A and B are shown apart, each in its own frame.
Chain A
Amino acid sequence: MSTATPPPVSTEMAEDETHVEAKTPHGSGGSGRRFGRSATGNAARAVTNPWASAVAIIMALAWTTPTVGLLVTSFRNQQDIQETGWWQALSTGFTLDNYSQVLGGAEGQPPLTDFIVNSFVIAIPAVFLPLLLASLASYAFAWIDFPFRNALFVGVFALQIVPLQIALLPLVTMYQQIGINGTYWALWLSHSAFALPLAVFLLHNFMKEIPASLLEAARVDGAGHVRIFFQVLLPLITPALASFGIFQFLWVWNDLLVAITMLGGNAGEGSLAPLTMVLNNISGTLGNRWYLMSAAAFISIAFPVAVFLSLQRYFVRGLLAGGTKG
């Protein structure tokens, strides 16, 4: 039985593939479709085009400048922010006050660390639960023959179209009836439910791509569905799992709507509220502590950025492999 995974693709190669993928739809200057090193050469030439570079740089600047401004603002005190723009920050000096107020829990606010823990408690099961369910479901959709399989798959896929806002109130009513509204269960179940259609679709495409011969070989060796799933398929679809995991983590981490609907608005002592709820409330009832918001936002961003950076090579590979299946 073959359980060996293919040799891991190096990051460099994955990037080369990216350029090839990006390049081919446009053709390559009349010289026909190329492969291997020359494709890399084309790709290299394409990205060194001065105009393309200029456009890319302008876009990158336009995209990051407001973020940089926000970052600089988060290190300035209230009066400086009000009186001068962030680009004049060098002449007015910096302070860590905003961060210490946010982290230490300014005026009657419990320390932020409580809510960071809450956010993780919400996000981690809300990522793994749909991953588990979706990988099982997509295995069934991809490799088990059962009646109405295609119709069901289309049905699941179509559920992506339903905006979650429509489902929110009925869900709360249901949770209310079974007594789990206002608990983490409500959030875990809702996030899983909202994530499943896309997860099933994405992982299904991945699973379908795995050569049937590999599964047949495993079956000949006497492996059942469970064994094939855990020992043959799961290792192969790790990039897809990781890329969807990032997606889902970012979504759950940044979610306010679902949390505020299911948990209520409580952000006080001992509450279950996630970080986003604190961000929403941190400026105070009348908004007079607005200057804390940029610092709080950057603290909140730090975690998804860390997750993204540590898993990003899977992210790119997973997206491409899942999305470009011909």
Chain B
Amino acid sequence: MALITTRKVLAVAGVAALSLTTAACGSSSDGGGGSESTGPDTTDYSDWCGMKSELQGKSVSIYTSIVTPEDASHKASYKEFEDCTGVKINYEGDKDFEKNLPQRAQSGNLPDIAFIPQPGLLQTMVDTGLAIPASETVGKEVDEYFGEDWRKYGSVDDELYAAPLGANVKSYVWYSPKMFKDKGYEVPTTWDDLMSLTEKIAADDPGAKPWCAGFGSGTATGWPGTDWLEDVLLRTAGPDVYDQWVDHSIPFNDPKVSEALGKVAAILKDPKYTNGGFGDPSTIATTQFQDGGQPILKNKCYMHRQASFYASNWPEGTKVAEDGDVWAFYLPSVDESSKPVLGGGEFVATFRDAPEVKAFAAFLASPDWANAKAKATKGGGWVSANKGLEVKNLVSPIDQQSAEILQDPKAVFRFDGSDMMPSAVGAGTFWTQMTNWVKGQDDKTTLDNIEQSWPQN
């Protein structure tokens, strides 16, 4: 008791001393902002370039998970806005963004704008009451240039909070066009084709295996496995069931999910088919995801399912193109009538109610920015679902292909499910159980364990 009192006295004395000595430093601008206005702001911000008189000299801080070297092209793409309005953009990248953003909301230290890479985190931020609904201008841009799926992922309770920014496509299979050509293989367009090609490769080439994979990723080990299951479920059960599965209105171990996992197992857990260049299927658990597809270059493996961003993992000098060393084809659907796309992306959430912030958010939602960003990304590795993005502005062939897939009217986009599930599952048991699964645990135990770990509420 005496101890606690002492500590309290000390703490109070400390606070008093601190505020006395540093009160002269002045207080920083309020980063939190308020959301007094109930409805969306109806001011037209699309003509941000004509608002110089109003915006000159202001600054906007943005906080993102995008760090060097990928941030350079982001900063470069804001130049047009900065020149035109006189607003200064302060960019801050942090790899621990997902952890630090909620913490900054708590301590009243929020940026003006955050690029949120997970719809689940957007929901959390909206729940704090500090996020500001998107202005009408942003709403119009989103309606005009993004699909309905994207609008939904940027909304909470049907109210749009955040316009989509970048995107990535996960439904890719990397392969070597040269190896395919030498053997006379065709890029498969249906799931059955894919399976018969797999069988054919296994029979044709005893020195290699049709598939290679790696689930290793430090504390996030297992996430490539979750992508596999999501991608296949999206194909076998369709987007509606996928949505129900993600929001847990059907159990995690629903028969449709077991069916999808069975299809994944038919590839990943068959020693005839995996793990090219590394050994038997259990090596998938210990292979780093960055290394997972590399055996393709050594002719030890034919196919590697991984997202578009895997392009940056090929060693320097590897030509990533349809006629190059490596290329990626769209992971085929069950048949050609539907085209589900699994992917991810960032969303622009705003936390300060000010014209310069809203004007900048409107700029980011517009095709002007998407095209500026495409031109600024000299090394490739960026794409947006913005339909106003001109594919020819993208530098790398794989980005162009991703943009075409995203803009395809037949495409049904679904966000990476593990990013939307409660983190106990999506960033916990889903990863660990998929890792155990590939090491040999059976399908049923795996799905049951994940279902059991779903938080009760």
Contact = CB atoms under 8 A, between A and B. Distances in A.
Nearest to B298: A83
Interface in A149-201: 151-152, 154-155, 158-159, 169, 172-174, 176-182, 185, 189, 193
A107 B70 CA distance: 9
Contacts of B309: 286, 288
Interface in B44-85: 63, 65-72, 75
Given A158-B3, A159-B7, A179 B95 contact: no
B368 interface: no
A169 B107 contact: yes
Interface of A: 78-79, 82-83, 106-109, 151-152, 154-155, 158-159, 169, 172-174, 176-182, 185, 189, 193, 260-261, 264-268, 280-282, 284-290
B63 A179 contact: no
A111 B66 CA distance: 19
B109 interface: yes
A311 B346 CA distance: 49
Given A82-B294, A261-B100, A268-B71, A176 B7 contact: no
B274 to A, nearest CB: 18
A172 B18 CA distance: 13
B19 to A, nearest CB: 6
7 contacts: A155-B3, A159-B7, A185-B22, A261-B103, A264-B63, A281-B95, A288-B309
Nearest to B168: A286
A264 B92 CA distance: 8
Contacts of B10: 155, 159
Nearest to B291: A82
B68 A176 contact: no
Nearest to A178: B22
A152 B6 contact: yes
Contacts of A288: 290, 309, 312-313
Contacts of B69: 106-109, 284, 289
Interface in B238-264: none
B108 interface: yes
Interface of B: 2-3, 6-7, 10, 14-15, 18-19, 22-23, 25-28, 63, 65-72, 75, 91-97, 100, 103, 106-109, 217, 290-291, 294, 309, 312-313, 315-316
Given A155-B10, A174-B18, A260-B96, A267 B107 contact: no
Given A261-B103, A265-B94, A266-B92, A285 B70 contact: yes
A109 B68 contact: yes
B15 A174 contact: yes
Given A169-B103, A178-B25, A265 B312 contact: no
Nearest to A148: B6
A152 B92 CA distance: 43
A289 B390 CA distance: 29
Q: Among A173, A288, A289, find the residue whose CB has the most chain B CB atoms closer than 10 A.
A: A288
Nearest to B379: A107
B421 to A, nearest CB: 21
A79 B93 contact: no
A185 B15 CA distance: 15
B378 to A, nearest CB: 10
Given A82-B291, A172-B109, A268 B22 contact: no
Contact of B6 (A155, A177, A180): A155
Nearest to A291: B290
A266 to B, nearest CB: 4
B108 A173 contact: yes
Nearest to B218: A287
Contacts of B6: 151-152, 155
Q: Among B63, B95, B315, find the residue whose CB has the most chain A CB atoms closer than 10 A.
A: B95
A82 B315 CA distance: 10
Q: Among B2, B67, B108, B217, find the residue whose CB has the most chain A CB atoms closer than 10 A.
A: B67
A179 B28 contact: yes
Q: Among B2, B63, B93, find the residue whose CB has the most chain A CB atoms closer than 10 A.
A: B93
B110 to A, nearest CB: 10
B212 to A, nearest CB: 13
Given A179-B26, A264-B94, A290-B290, A78 B315 contact: yes
A280 to B, nearest CB: 6
A316 B73 CA distance: 50
A179 B27 contact: yes
